[in-house]
Amino acid sequence: MSGSAMPAVGPQAGIVAGRPALADPGTSFRSREPATARQRDAVFADAQLEEADAAASAAAEAFFRAQTDESERRPALLLHALAVVLEGRRSELVRVAAAETALTEVRLNSELSRTTGQLELLASEADSRSGRPVEEDAAGAEGFAPALALGHVPLGPVAVFGASNFPFAFGVLGGDTASALAAGCPVIAKGHPAHPETSQLLGEIATAVVADTGWPAGWFSLLHGRGAPIGQALVRADGIAAVAFTGSTRGGTALATVAAERSVPIPVYAELGGINALYLLPDAAGNATAADSAFVAGLTQSLTGGSGQFCTKPGLLVVVDDDAARRTVDHLATALAAVASPPLLTPGIKAALVSGQERLREHEDVEVLRGGPSASDALDHPVSSFVARVSSQALRADPSIADELFGPALVVVMCENLDDLIDVTGSIPAGLTATIHAAPGDATTSARLLRRLRLRAGRVLFGGFPTGVRVGRATTHGGPYPATNAPSTTSVGVRAIDRFLRPVTYQDLPDTLRDRALSWT
């Protein structure tokens, strides 16, 4: 691998505190290009299970040293340096990630910009918060009222499990790593087996930047592995203080169980999934019936972008069954037919999507309007986008109709009237988002719907489409289970940092110790 500081001798199993991780013999694998079905040249392997302990132990030592020695290290400088180096390596990163994921270079360039922007935003947040009290209670004149100053300390080493669908923004140097580093925590990232080469590149960048900015080598490690054991070993390892995960409900809850069974239980912040329902209210539907309406164009784009492989992809469209809604849905099916979807990320994702579509096709209460498996849908070919229609009664009778289809697929729920539409919200699972499209005539329904949807999503949109996530101060990327298992948290935006901080109250803190107490690092 050109440009790499690490000699590629034998399969690469990751990087532990600056040195190559030891590989578990007989576990080598290569990444596969979804667009060509070819295997790439670079060879990877599962790290030995002992490397999880070695990485955790190095991280814990590095953390203790950074907390207690006299050096001043600003997380913001580390994050800023990462952003600068990522920018400098942009073309190589995008080229490798595009080959490993079949996501377009346009999309990956935009995702990388989001990733560097996220690093800079969190750097600035860390700088503005570290060293300042969160709250203070001045000493009182009467009764028991000592002076209190509330600060934060980092939790300690964080294990990060990235997602398959965002190799940059939710990858080795994605939002979880960025927010853990911003909080002053070391990170051990698990490389994603669907893009090991991208993971390795990012890991090498992190290793070099950690060294160049004066942090102890244990501040960052990367472990490769295809199976569950290496990840579980990492979550079990002494010294790990928290886990951040983005992926499947099954994978995330399994790690949460491992974490709860430790002798010292640790928090697992898992962003899992769920359904993103979009409610098109009748007056708004009346405005959307043109074949080239903004609604039809926007929903087509939101459904097919990245082959529909977004946690926030709209999976359900809920409408009142009237002429306008039917015409809009027909136009949507037509518009989707004109959009080619790139191949899916992995054979596993494709198999799950195909089987989910088969399930709906065979369901007697579901009418398939477009798409579904065909000869050209063999593995390593693009899938067609898929639209099915179901009545609200059928959905109530069989809520599994709303199970998430990860890919360019949508189920339209036809309601009898407005009360039925309001009521069916109770049969639709929670998710990261819920979206209301309303026109002035829908005001009353919109107000009623808001109060129900806020109980079932981490973000409620008024117009627009949920696949765009603004990374800001007011961002929530979370929600009720299964959007996340940690409902009070967000995995995106400046408040993602708070997952990795612990409050500490200083009582009658002397002024001379104030900076030392309130600084995160």
In whole angstroms, how close is the CB of 493 to a copy of itself at the nearest point?
Answer: 8
Which of 237, 258, 155 has its CA nearest to residue 503? 155
For residue 58, give the H/E element and its range.
helix 49-68
Residues in Cβ contact with 120 at an 8 Å cutoff, skipping those fewer than 6 apart: 79, 80, 83
Which of 194, 176, 142, 167 has its CA nearest to residue 245? 176
Which of 429, 426, 433, 428 has its CA nearest to residue 460? 433
In whole angstroms, how close is the CB of 397 to a copy of itself at the nearest point?
Answer: 20
Q: Which is nearer to a copy of itself, 43 or 439 (CB)?
A: 439
In whole angstroms, how close is the CB of 421 to a copy of itself at the nearest point?
Answer: 14
The catalytic residues are: 271, 311
Residues in Cβ contact with 311 at an 8 Å cutoff, skipping those fewer than 6 apart: 163, 165, 246, 271, 273, 432
DSSP-derived pairing of the beta strands 187-190 and 220-223: parallel
d(C-alpha 165, C-alpha 386), whole Å: 19
Sign of CA dihedral 49, 53, 56, 59: negative
Q: Which is nearer to a copy of itself, 328 or 485 (CB)?
A: 485
d(C-alpha 334, C-alpha 450), whole Å: 31
Amino acid at 346: T
d(C-alpha 160, C-alpha 246), whole Å: 9
CA angle 492, 496, 502 (to 5 degrees): 170
In whole angstroms, how close is the CB of 420 to a copy of itself at the nearest point?
Answer: 16
d(C-alpha 330, C-alpha 455), whole Å: 31
d(C-alpha 119, C-alpha 464), whole Å: 26
Cβ 208 vs Cβ 220: under 8 Å: no
d(C-alpha 250, C-alpha 321), whole Å: 35
Q: Which is nearer to a copy of itself, 226 or 502 (CB)?
A: 502
In whole angstroms, how close is the CB of 490 to a copy of itself at the nearest point?
Answer: 6
Q: Which is nearer to a copy of itself, 38 or 451 (CB)?
A: 451
